[in-house]
Amino acid sequence: MGLVMSDPASNLTRVHLFISGQVQGVGFRAKAQRQAETLGVNGWVANLPDGRVEAVIEGEPALVDQLVDWCRSGPARATVTDVTIAQEPAAGESSFSIRYV
């Protein structure tokens, strides 16, 4: 899809997402964590006080693109109105976790 660029040294991509809409209170974080683990990508996801969900995703570019697409559509009962994406240098995340803010 070309959403992200890969790091040629490590063949990993890292993106930082801010997801707006009805994404809290519908299990978005837990479902995102399960989807990430299914795809084999790393990173974390957290609820923000302003109602958005923040996520960092790192892994092979095609798998990161798949999780970004999943975040844009959201799980059942979530209404995603906007996803802001910024690329970051790969940092070597080794698991996917839920963070509490």
The active-site residue, picked from 14, 29, 42, 52, is 29
- Confirm whether 11 is a catalytic residue: no
Q: Of the residues 11, 14, 34, 47, which is catalytic?
A: 47
8 A C-beta contact, residue 54 and residue 46: yes
Q: How far is residue 60's CA from residue 9's CA, in Å, rounded to a whole number?
A: 12
Question: 47 an active-site residue?
Answer: yes
* CB contact at 8 A, 72 and 80: yes
Give the residue numbers annotated as catalytic, written as ranges. 29, 47
